[in-house]
A and B are shown apart, each in its own frame.
Chain A
Amino acid sequence: MLLRVGHIFKSIFLFYYDGFRSMTIGKKLWTIILIKLFIMFIVLKIFFFPDFLKTNFSTDSQRSDYVLDQLTKTK
């Protein structure tokens, strides 16, 4: 049973390994994807796009109160 499971994982690994190895244009595309994901999740998300309510409040009750204040604010 264990051997069979191991064989399946090995087949899956080889499937992806061969696929990635024989890529031509795909290598360039993966480079673009990785750079893009780095810029999005490491640079933009962390430094420019913090979740406002998650960052500034610790409980849902505080977040509700804040949004209710915003919704009912008068001049």
Chain B
Amino acid sequence: MLGNVDLTLVDWSRAQFALTAIYHWFFVPLTLGLSFLIAIMETIYVRTGNEEWKKITKFWMKLFGINFAIGIATGIILEFEFGTNWSNYSWLVGDIFGAPLAIEGILAFFIESTFIAIMFFGWNKVSKKYHLASTWLVAFGSNLSALWILVANSWMQSPVGMHFNPETARSEMLNIWDVILSPVAENKFLHTITSAYVLASLFVICVSSWYIYKKRDLLFAKRSIVISAVFGLIAALFVAITGDGSAYAVAQKQPMKLAAMEGLYQGQKGADLILFGVLRSDAQQDKTDNFLFKIGAPKMLSILGYRSGDAYVPGIKDLVDGNKQENIMSTAEKMDRGKIALAALRSYKEFRKMNDKAKADSSLVVFNQYSQYMGYGYFDKPSDVVPNVPLTFYSFRIMIILGVFFILLLMVILFYAVRNKLESKRILLFFSILSFPLAFIASQAGWIVTEVGRQPWVIQDLMPTSVATTHISSTSVMTTFFLFAVLFTVLLIAEIKIMINQIKSGPKGGDNV
């Protein structure tokens, strides 16, 4: 069935969406994390009355403002793309996404826009406590905005609380709480925002370390480092805990993604978690050893995925070919059932047009019986359900290795910061400066695991990515791809340039934004 899909169009549409999302994600995590760091710094100022803390707060607020201004509305482009490039998908999810995205829009507009003005313009015009409350509300508002977007994304990974209506071709929400409180959504939200806090903390540490390296603004830099190291370390530990929750949810809801994350071609009981490994370039499901080299933690994958050291973790071969012993249905069987569902949906649609209610009803009964496999009906061969394994595998390793590095780095920084010995630790300062770009790499790698690992699905088991696209010319998608590449690159350069100028000016570089 996918034979009638223009893969060039699908690939360009995916590339464009990935490009836009990656650029958008350059701005978002800094906003999410810095907003809380600023609120904490200002709280210390209000409680102590120490003017140095006011100066610290205002400087980071200025950098927050630059990032917020450059990044604002970059996410809107994703919504443009939904309507133009992904119309089948947009129609299908309209009922589910409408409420969360509308709430997101209202919150983003009213909470952030109102209180952000008080945050920047309100110094000396409103009371200290009112100003502080505004700063906290900006932090909560921006993080609450992220909640709704992440709930929408989680629903695509695990579509719960909905029912597909064959009359309207839409997924209709049955219970909003099932959507918001699904384990996938809870873990994704907490994992994503806490990783953003780590990134923002590393930003503050990076800039402050540079000041210390240059032996300037020392008190300012040291205080900023202590606050951000504590905040970042707590957040990093939460990232690890919620990462564990996410892995568990992936094992239950997206076992193919977990197999790709681990390069696990053949399932096993008591499966190891690969800590380091190099996949063979010709890795495939029928080979028993697909690694050139690997170091694994014994039974950890079974424990992480199924909370039991002896649990069976299905590999790619099990999920494609099936495994009767482990009660895993083959993809070929799912495809057959999916094709029955699609044929029934087609008949239902045609009989309804002919006003033949009896036949339409009987088609509907068949459709409902097989509808959970509907998405599989679009595939031509079972191997179509396998995502890009090397990209998912290596992105996952990069994210994990950097995550562990950040925890260690934050602990060491905090240790030396509270002992006031950072100035003499030149190598540590160098790594602290380096940590910020590494945090972006870790963050983007995490999204690659999430989004590449779930391919070929745009909505798990319901809609493959290739079916979600609009039948438009791939040339127009290519054109807008390059337009975005230019636009976003210009914005990013502008942000970096303005940011660097402000950092060079330092905390004494003027009060106003």
Contacts and interface: CB of A to CB of B under 8 A. Distances in A.
Interface in B455-513: 467, 470-472, 476, 479-480, 483, 487, 491, 494, 498, 502, 510, 512-513
Nearest to A74: B1
A48 B292 CA distance: 47
B345 A52 contact: no
B345 A72 contact: yes
Interface string B105-125: 000000000000100111001
Contacts of A32: 69-70, 491, 494
Contacts of B349: 65, 68-69, 72
A67 B83 CA distance: 13
A20 to B, nearest CB: 8
A64 B170 contact: yes
B80 A75 contact: no
B480 A29 contact: no
A22 interface: yes
**Chain B interface SS verdict (over half):** helix
Interface string A47-75: 01111111000001001110111111111
Interface stretch (B88-96, B143-151, B247-255, B398-406): B88-96
B342 interface: yes
Contacts of B92: 67, 71
Given A48-B480, A52-B83, A53-B90, A64 B169 contact: yes
Contacts of B498: 25, 28-29
Contact of B76 (A40, A50, A69, A71): A40
A20 B121 CA distance: 8
Given A24-B513, A26-B120, A53-B87, A36 B73 contact: yes
B483 A44 contact: yes
Nearest to A18: B121
Contact of A49 (B1, B69, B80, B491): B80
A6 interface: no
Nearest to B344: A72
Contacts of B346: 72, 74
A49 B487 contact: no
A40 B20 CA distance: 13
Classify chain A: how many residues form its interface, as a range: 35 or more
Contacts of B479: 48
Nearest to B92: A67
B51 interface: no
Contact of A29 (B66, B83, B125): B66
A75 B92 CA distance: 22
B513 A23 contact: yes
Interface string A7-37: 0000000011011101111101110110011
B286 interface: no
Nearest to B70: A32
Nearest to B4: A75
Contacts of B72: 33, 36
Given A40-B73, A40-B76, A64-B170, A48 B476 contact: yes
B84 A30 contact: no
Contacts of B487: 36, 39
A49 B470 contact: no
A52 B121 contact: no
A16 B122 CA distance: 9
A56 B461 CA distance: 29
Contact of B512 (A23, A33, A37, A54): A23
Contacts of A68: 166, 169, 345, 349
A65 B69 CA distance: 41
A34 to B, nearest CB: 11
Q: List 8 A-B pairs, minimum CB-CB distance, nearest first.
A: A19-B121, A51-B83, A29-B69, A49-B80, A72-B346, A52-B87, A67-B169, A49-B84
Interface of B: 1, 3-4, 62, 65-66, 69-70, 72-73, 76-77, 80-81, 83-84, 87-88, 90-92, 117, 120-122, 125, 166-170, 342, 345-346, 349, 467, 470-472, 476, 479-480, 483, 487, 491, 494, 498, 502, 510, 512-513
